[in-house]
Amino acid sequence: MQDKELERYSRHILLPEIEFEGQKKLLQSHCLIVGAGGLGSPVAIYLAASGVGKITICDFDNVDLSNLQRQIIHDENKIGLNKAESAKRALNRINSDIKVIPIKRQLDIDEVMSIAKDVDIIIDCSDNFKTRYALNKIAFDLKLPLISGAAIKFDGQVCVFDFRVHNSVCYNCLFPSEDDEQNLKCSDHGVFSPLVGLVGSIQAGEVIKVLLGIGTSLHGKLLLINHRDIDFKALKIKKDDLCDICS
């Protein structure tokens, strides 16, 4: 680690849970972020600032004016630009020493699987169940940690599935794919702008903790957040013995 990096990450290095070796590990880590919107914005910003050395970020959508209320990685000058490309430019301004790989097109599950084989952790910042189930299956098959977040209205949730741990629960245990649950969309129901920042920041923290093996993670738990009333609940997720994915 060069003198510039020692100074940049000095506040991490001062933490006995991280120190020099932990920061070095972050610099050598590769994260896959799926979604460069409300959740992906704070996740990507904090991971880049924290010195995660390689970030692959996927989003096929373009920046729209209505995104700017909460998707803080984008700005007015990026309207019409692909979100992954917009995120790359913003992250390289925050930290020019890291490598950011934008994936600007919609991928099928085999293509995501191929990309995920090269990463240390997957962060689900998507906004639909189809993608969440696909990432859960990929993380399970590759035995990778999966950090999942969601936010709508004033309510958010974060959960961690660390498939490096034997007999881990999975996203499908929590929300069985055969359920006829409808996706809630921000465009239909709205979302409180700071909520996605809170959820995304917690996701980023869980990423760093899981990568470094420090503290107590949300592995096997569901954190429920009601930002309107400042109510936090952490619930243990029960493994489904009949789960199509992990049983």
pLDDT at 176 (0 to 100): 87
Q: What is the DSSP string of 154-219?
A: TEEEEEEEETTSTT---HHHHS-TTS-PPPP-HHHH-B-HHHHHHHHHHHHHHHHHHHHT-S---B
Question: CA-CA distance, 44 to 156, in Å (whole number)?
Answer: 18
In CATH, the architecture of 16-179+191-236 is 3-Layer(aba) Sandwich (3.40)
Binning pLDDT at 50, 70 and 90, where does residue 2 land?
A: confident
Strands 30-34 and 221-226: unpaired
Q: At residue 49, what is the residue type?
A: A
Q: In this predicted model, what pLDDT tens digit does every residue of 7-45 receive, in sequence order? A: 999 999 999 999 999 999 999 999 999 999 999 999 999
With CA atoms as reference, report the closest residue to 92 among 84, 80, 103.
84
The number of angstroms, rounded, from the C-alpha of 169 to the middle of its chain's C-alpha atoms is: 18
36-60 confidence digits (pLDDT tens) = 999 999 999 999 999 999 999 999 9
- Domain spans in the chain, listed from the N-terminal domain onward: 16-179+191-236
Encode pLDDT of 177-218 as tens digits: 755 455 666 667 899 999 999 999 999 999 999 999 999 999
Handedness of CA 63, 144, 54, 116 (dihedral sign): negative
